[in-house]
Chain A
């Protein structure tokens, strides 16, 4: 046995010793809840009573025909995702280009300081920025030309939308910068030198040489921000609490309220499955993009 199998011989004991600790937490926390969510999505259930009533696809019918609040939150999260993904990637890439154009010994400090907002959780960040929007901007607005800062940021739907975008971009662009710097550092200097022989303008050099070479980083950053933003809960729960008039309620908040405030576990789970399908589409898109880039390279 030992000779043929080497170190890695078949043994149920070894299998159990190594795999069981992982499976004993992975299965009850992920696998069972996932399928259980699918199951209760077909039920009417308040989460407390013994009786679950099988209602087939009725929860899904409710979602698709008579739940405008859910679709409002989907539309809000979608618009947030587009705005935040674009802005934090443009900013992150700009910062990365700026930082990596500095002499080597001057790159560390700005990189660290721009990453600083990432140490905070969304809730804490939301409270800090509530103070900035409600109090600090009011003081700064007295400076001539900055009067627009004095508007009611969190009390009107339009500004509240952009308030969340600003705070998210403030946090995420430090992260995307780190990934872009890693991508830029990875570019073979020979390729750059060779391309420069033609003497392209800086703008042309960026779009036709640098950008194509860091496409893997672009894909990673875009999808990282997309998933983060589309699943956002913490920041909005402390910054705007979904208001004003529920206009900044994210999908996650709608899910949470359905299950834990209105005690509709069945409908909440069905929404969770619809939500999962959205995320699945984003992930499949990412796989598609990553693959097509690999073929090009």
Chain B
């Protein structure tokens, strides 16, 4: 029976070769990006498939200076970290309150969070500019962070509340009898229990905030506040024919995410599966 089946299905060796071929094809763009990023412009123009005759690392140095890479990197890092911190704190607190004290008001807040998840950013984009302007937050890193908080809390509330429902109340009740305040109970007892879901949310949101383009595009116009995608994009506008500078700039801009990806790959896969419920 078994033999009959394996004879009829494609053998493991063949499947393995197909898979290796697919993976190799998938990685080809990265290969061409890397080998051409260290070539002189003349060699790129002549033949992109050939290996570089010299490894010209000065391409990277020049792209690093001309994109003002450290500044864009710092801006992206600041936006991502502060946005993550706020989204995790605000949405976990609200979700806790919503689950443990389902008043009419809190149920409404929860329903609005669910509804938010189907609103594409483009729908609120135009008035958001007006609101941020009225709050004096346009053209600033805090403005970007604040908008990310607002855009991120709904999914946070959704994910946290699903998790908190399964957290037993015993510990909280015991702490309350000993006279601990509500906030103290949350930060000392509940928050540490949410570690795994916090991690999932951080993974999903980090890639979003780090790679976000449309929001910073409409909020930031001053060069000194540009995040990486915006800085690279405006650099490409000026140097569109200088592939010897553009390719190193593009490579540098994906390196931080690539490093994080390879270190955290198992967690990222788990996080993507857990977050797949969000449309």
Residues of A within 8 A of B (CB): 6-8, 10-11, 14-15, 17-19, 21-23, 25-26, 28-34, 36-37, 40, 47, 95, 98-99, 101-103, 106, 108, 110-124, 127-129, 131-132, 135-136, 138-140, 170, 174-175, 178-179, 182, 196, 199, 201-202, 220, 223-224, 227, 231, 233-234, 237-238, 251-252, 255-256, 259-260, 265, 268-269, 272-273, 275-276, 279-280, 283, 286
- In the bound complex, how far is the Cα of B229 from the Cα of A138, in angstroms? 27
Q: Is B277 interfacial (CB 8 A cutoff)?
A: yes
- In the bound complex, how far is the Cα of B41 from the Cα of A135, in angstroms? 12
Q: A19-B109, A223-B279, A279-B123 are in contact. List 9 more A-B contacts (CB 8 A).
A: A21-B93, A29-B131, A110-B22, A116-B26, A118-B207, A120-B254, A174-B26, A201-B8, A259-B126
Tell me whether B48 and A139 are in contact (CB under 8 A): yes
Contact of A99 among B19, B26, B127 (CB under 8 A): B19
For chain B, residues 110 to 155, give those with C-beta under 8 angstroms from any C-beta of chain A: 112-113, 116, 118-131, 135, 146-147, 149-151, 153-154
- In the bound complex, how far is the Cα of B39 from the Cα of A139, in angstroms? 15
- In the bound complex, how far is the Cα of B273 from the Cα of A128, in angstroms? 27
Given A34-B123, A36-B130, A115-B146 contact (CB < 8 Å): no
Contact of A199 among B1, B182, B236 (CB under 8 A): B1
Contact of B18 among A17, A30, A98, A276 (CB under 8 A): A98
Q: Which B residues touch A174, using CB under 8 A?
A: 26
Q: Which B residues touch A102, using CB under 8 A?
A: 12, 15-16, 19
What distance in Å separates the Cβ of B49 from its nearest Cβ neighbour in chain A?
Answer: 4
Contact of A123 among B172, B233, B261, B269 (CB under 8 A): B233
What distance in Å separates the Cβ of A121 from its nearest Cβ neighbour in chain B?
Answer: 3
Given A121-B213, A131-B243, A6-B176 contact (CB < 8 Å): yes
Per-residue A-contact encoding for B40-74, CB less than 8 Å = 1, 0 else? 00001101111000000000000000000000000
A-B contact pairs, 20 of them (CB 8 A): A7-B169, A7-B173, A18-B183, A21-B86, A25-B149, A29-B149, A32-B131, A34-B127, A36-B127, A102-B15, A110-B20, A113-B23, A123-B213, A139-B49, A224-B276, A224-B279, A227-B279, A231-B120, A233-B122, A283-B279
Contact of A280 among B97, B118, B157, B169 (CB under 8 A): B118
Residues of B within 8 A of A (CB): 1, 4-5, 8-9, 12, 15-16, 18-20, 22-23, 26-27, 29-30, 32-33, 36, 44-45, 47-50, 86, 89-91, 93-94, 96-98, 100-101, 103, 105-106, 109, 112-113, 116, 118-131, 135, 146-147, 149-151, 153-154, 157, 169, 172-173, 176, 182-183, 185-186, 207, 210-214, 218, 229, 232-233, 236, 243, 246-247, 250, 253-254, 257-258, 260-262, 265, 268-269, 272-273, 276-277, 279
Q: Which B residues touch A273, using CB under 8 A?
A: 123
Tell me whether B90 and A132 are in contact (CB under 8 A): no
Chain B residue, CB-CB nearest to A106: B16
Tell me whether B127 and A32 are in contact (CB under 8 A): yes
Contact of B125 among A131, A175, A259 (CB under 8 A): A259
Tell me whether B91 and A22 are in contact (CB under 8 A): yes
Contact of B22 among A36, A95, A231 (CB under 8 A): A95
Tell me whether A140 and B49 are in contact (CB under 8 A): yes
Tell me whether A25 and B150 are in contact (CB under 8 A): yes
- In the bound complex, how far is the Cα of B176 from the Cα of A11, in angstroms? 14
- In the bound complex, how far is the Cα of B275 from the Cα of A224, in angstroms? 11
Q: Which B residues touch A196, using CB under 8 A?
A: 5
Tell me whether A30 and B96 are in contact (CB under 8 A): no
Q: Which B residues touch A29, using CB under 8 A?
A: 124, 128, 131, 146-147, 149-151
**What are the 9 A-B residue pairs with the smallest beta carbon separation, nearest first?**
A29-B150, A121-B211, A18-B97, A22-B94, A33-B127, A36-B127, A33-B124, A25-B149, A7-B176
Chain B residue, CB-CB nearest to A259: B126
Tell me whether B9 and A202 are in contact (CB under 8 A): yes
Contact of A26 among B127, B154, B211 (CB under 8 A): B154
- In the bound complex, how far is the Cα of B21 from the Cα of A95, in angstroms? 12
Q: Which A residues touch B26, using CB under 8 A?
A: 113-114, 116-117, 170, 174
- In the bound complex, how far is the Cα of B20 from the Cα of A106, in angstroms? 11
Chain B residue, CB-CB nearest to A230: B120
- In the bound complex, how far is the Cα of B32 from the Cα of A128, in angstroms? 9
- In the bound complex, how far is the Cα of B243 from the Cα of A6, in angstroms? 66
Tell me whether B29 and A21 are in contact (CB under 8 A): no
Tell me whether A255 and B233 are in contact (CB under 8 A): no
What distance in Å separates the Cβ of B28 from its nearest Cβ neighbour in chain A?
Answer: 8
- In the bound complex, how far is the Cα of B236 from the Cα of A47, in angstroms? 29
- In the bound complex, how far is the Cα of B142 from the Cα of A84, in angstroms? 36
